[in-house]
Amino acid sequence: MKIAFIGDIVGRPGRSIIKEQLRKLRKAQGIDFVIGNYENASHGFGMTLKNGKELFEYGIDVMTGGNHTWDKKEIIPLLETLPLLRPHNYPAGVPGTGCKVFEVSGEKLAVINIMGHYGMPYVDNAFRCARDTVEQLKEEGITSIFIDLHAEASSEKRGMMMLLQGQVSGIMGTHTHVGTDDLQISNGTAYLTDIGLTGCRDNVIGMDEKVPLERFLTGVAGRFEVPEKCNRILQVAVMTLQEGKCVQAQKFKIFDDGRTIITDAWMEE
């Protein structure tokens, strides 16, 4: 089984480069299943039904969320009807789920969406939720398990890796929009602290720099805006799974000027 993961898709620039590049990448790499994070997909905050349908049409199979999941209220009923996840460790009674199981190439693949704690809304314990959910999936005979850990703190992401390495196929971070250079495979688990945004690469976390710079200079906050025009990047991790273990992983950085940079995961024995 070959799966791919795209992190925070930021606004129209992110959606457009996925439209241009994802199907070509799926074909070239023989990718069976694509996971993408939607929480910034509609003008940087949440996702609309229209934009969700676009992303599914472009070749994404399931989408995960984060702290901006609820910014577009129209998503709430869609969490029950479309392959959309929200963080699994929201308290009981919140609409939707953060764990779904899919049939991929004759095998079962579980996708889990977990949200960290530092700087985030109130949620239940991320580590206990992830641990208990993985244990339940294992009891059901599901061995291929991927986790999108949406968190600010790199320590929380690394801690999740230490907790669950060898038990899941992959743990990859989202939320900071800044890609890290630590793609590795340890004990059959692919890990990346943050995959980085897909969208504008020449601004501040995919947003026009005017408001962030004003805030840095004066302390006065404003609403972030996604630029209409910018230089774009698609950042995606591709993982090959065998019997629930990741045996190969690569990070693709695809630029809208024609460049592609591919980084192989290092192996920890």
Kindly give the confidence (pLDDT) of every residue in the chain, 269 residues in length, as a single tens digit, with 9 standing for 90 and above: 999 999 999 999 999 999 999 999 999 999 999 999 999 999 999 999 999 999 999 999 999 999 999 999 999 999 999 999 999 999 999 999 999 999 999 999 999 999 999 999 999 999 999 999 999 999 999 999 999 999 999 999 999 999 999 999 999 999 999 999 999 999 999 999 999 999 999 999 999 999 999 999 999 999 999 998 999 999 999 999 999 999 999 999 999 999 999 999 999 86
Q: Is the dihedral of CA 150, 153, 158, 161 positive or negative?
A: negative
Helix, strand, or coil (residue 109): strand
Question: What pLDDT is attached to residue 228?
Answer: 87
- Contact between 205 and 183 (Cβ < 8 Å): no
Q: Which of 68, 88, 150, 177 is catalytic?
A: 68
Distance CA 265, CA 236 (A): 13
Task: Quote the pLDDT of residue 202.
Answer: 95
Nearest in space to 149 (alpha carbons), one of 232, 211, 65, 220:
65
Q: How far apart are CA 214 and CA 74, in angstroms?
A: 31
Boundaries of every domain in the chain: 2-268
* Inter-CA distances, 17 with 204, 207, 227, Å: 18, 16, 14
Provide the pairing of β-strand 245-255 with 232-242.
Answer: antiparallel
Which tokens hold the place of 88? 């699994």
Q: What is the predicted pLDDT for the residue at 249?
A: 98
**For position 268, what pLDDT does the model report?**
84
If you ran DSSP here, which 8-state letter would residue 256 be given? T
Per CATH, domain 2-268 is 3.40.470.10:
no
Q: Is 68 a catalytic residue?
A: yes
Element (H, E) at 164: helix 154-164
pTM listed for this prediction: 0.96
CA distances from 151 to 154, 155, 168, 263 (A): 8, 9, 18, 23
CA-CA-CA-CA torsion sign (40, 44, 46, 48): negative
Tokens standing for 3?
């799966």
| Per-residue pLDDT, 108 | 98
Question: HSE on the CB side for 123, CA within 13 Å?
Answer: 26
* Alpha-carbon gap, residue 250 to 263, rounded angstroms: 5
> Using CA atoms, how far apart are residues 45 and 255, in angstroms rounded to an integer?
23
- The span from the CA of 166 to the CA of 161, in Å, is 9
The whole-angstrom separation of Cα 67 and Cα 83 is 18
